[in-house]
Amino acid sequence: MSFNIELDAVARQYGSVRAVDGVSFAAAAGEVIALVGHNGAGKTTLIKLMLGLARPTSGSVCVLGQDPAAGDVTVRRRLGYLPENVSFNPALTGRETLRFYVQLKGGPPKEAEALLQRIGLAHAADRRIGTYSKGMRQRLGLAQAMIGSPAVLLLDEPTTGLDPELRQQFYGIVREMQAAGTTVLLSSHALNELEGNAGRVVILNEGRKIADGSLDELRRIARLPTRIRLTAAEGGARRLREWMGEPKGLRQINGHIVEIDASPEDKAAFLRRAAGEGAPFEDLDMVPPGLDELYAHFLAGRASK
Ligand SMILES: Nc1ncnc2c1ncn2[C@@H]1O[C@H](COP(=O)(O)OP(=O)(O)OP(=O)(O)O)[C@@H](O)[C@H]1O
């Protein structure tokens, strides 16, 4: 299988800071990968390495079969990039700006029109960018990155500052690009918005890759407990505790509610027992681990090593 992006033990040092430290991964056509990590985790540096804007201190970077730092124009044309802080000339209109970038990439002017339509900015195309909202500027940035239907799209924190509706619209466009075979790599601070939107998540911490997989795979690896909350009739907490055998970690919330964190195996065993006769509860709630807990789990695992 050939990959659009291949990183092999890539490191990038800035003075005493190892911004990226031994990262390897490969991305195929049609994959949507999210790079997730705290501030300073190395996301932007990794993207710059893939763009050839930074060179690795050691290791190798290969994008569309080439070293991106070699500056091969045919490869550059097939790369789209949305920087973290997108800035355009505020005196130009959206249309003028996009036409300029289309021209730079050697595309026809009508491509700018099609892109303005696609990202929902056609109505504001003749307004100066100085009058655009943050969301509109971000969408224009995305349109600029999509010029020439790139084979690899690198988006640095593309959803920052977008409201939930625009965010969904944005991921809709990402899905279209993915369906057309584009490899999309986007960086983000948060796991929560990636559910259903990124097939694969790479978690970075202090320049190192600490997790790589689909959210479901990461959940399985993490084996985080599910919180089970049982509610009995008024004053029934004691009976609940006895019925459960006073397990370690059981929490009594009040006179009729108890909670326990159950591992994946314990959860199944518990549910079988709860389905039997005489279980002394009236209601049962199960709260699966959230994405924030998953993220914290991987970061904590790293810190303890
Ligand atoms: N040109 C540079 N010179 C010196 N240090 C740098 C440079 N670029 C990045 N760094 C350092 O490398 C580390 C990783 O930075 P990077 O911008 O890649 O992180 P990030 O994950 O993108 O962070 P954020 O989410 O805040 O954008 C940080 O400690 C940063 O200060």
CATH of the domain at 284: 3.30.70
Q: Is residue 205 in some structural domain?
A: yes
- Quote the CA–CA distance of 130 and 160 in Å, as a whole number: 19
Q: Is residue 209 in some structural domain?
A: yes
Q: Which of 220, 235, 263 is the last residue of a domain?
A: 220
My answer on whether 198 and 62 are in the same domain is yes
Q: Is 44 in the pocket of ligand 1 (CB under 6 A)?
A: yes
CATH of the domain at 130: 3.40.50.300
My answer on whether 87 and 188 are in the same domain is yes
Q: How far is the CA of 260 from the centre of ligand 1 (A)?
A: 41
Q: Is residue 138 in some structural domain?
A: yes
My answer on whether 72 and 207 are in the same domain is yes
My answer on whether 244 and 269 are in the same domain is yes
- Quote the CA–CA distance of 211 and 282 in Å, as a whole number: 40
So what's the pLDDT on residue 303? Answer: 45
So what's the pLDDT on residue 302? Answer: 61
Q: Which of 179, 195, 220 is the last residue of a domain?
A: 220
Question: Which residues sit opposite 66 in a β-bridge?
Answer: 63
My answer on whether 97 and 241 are in the same domain is no
Q: Is 42 in the pocket of ligand 1 (CB under 6 A)?
A: yes
- Quote the CA–CA distance of 209 and 164 in Å, as a whole number: 28
My answer on whether 33 and 181 are in the same domain is yes
Task: Tell me the residue range of the domain where 204 lies.
Answer: 5-220
My answer on whether 82 and 122 are in the same domain is yes
My answer on whether 213 and 248 are in the same domain is no
My answer on whether 107 and 158 are in the same domain is yes
Q: Count how many domains the chain has.
A: 2
My answer on whether 208 and 142 are in the same domain is yes
Residue nearest to ligand 1 atom 30, measured at CA: 40
- Quote the CA–CA distance of 76 and 165 in Å, as a whole number: 32
So what's the pLDDT on residue 53? Answer: 92
Residue nearest to ligand 1 atom 17, measured at CA: 44
My answer on whether 131 and 239 are in the same domain is no
- Quote the CA–CA distance of 156 and 141 in Å, as a whole number: 11
Question: Which residues sit opposite 152 in a β-bridge?
Answer: 79, 183
Q: Which of 190, 220, 250 is the last residue of a domain?
A: 220
So what's the pLDDT on residue 305? Answer: 39
Question: pLDDT tens, position by position, for the chain (305 residues)?
Answer: 689 999 999 999 999 999 999 999 999 999 999 999 988 999 999 999 999 999 999 999 999 999 998 878 888 889 999 998 888 999 999 999 999 999 998 899 899 999 999 999 999 999 999 999 988 999 999 999 999 999 999 999 999 878 888 899 899 999 999 999 999 999 988 788 888 889 999 999 999 999 999 988 998 888 888 999 999 988 889 999 999 888 888 999 999 999 999 988 888 888 888 888 888 899 999 988 888 888 889 988 764 43
Q: Is residue 121 in some structural domain?
A: yes
Q: Is residue 95 in some structural domain?
A: yes
Handedness of CA 302, 10, 204, 18 (dihedral sign): positive
Q: How far is the CA of 13 from the centre of ligand 1 (A)?
A: 10
So what's the pLDDT on residue 192? Answer: 81
So what's the pLDDT on residue 274? Answer: 85
Q: How far is the CA of 40 from the centre of ligand 1 (A)?
A: 5
Question: Which residues sit opposite 283 in a β-bridge?
Answer: 231
Identify the DSSP state of 116: H
- Do 51 and 76 touch, CB atoms closer than 8 A? no
Choose which residue among 13, 17, 49 to substitute to test ligand 1 binding: the one with the highest number of ligand atoms within 8 A of its C-beta: 17
My answer on whether 159 and 275 are in the same domain is no
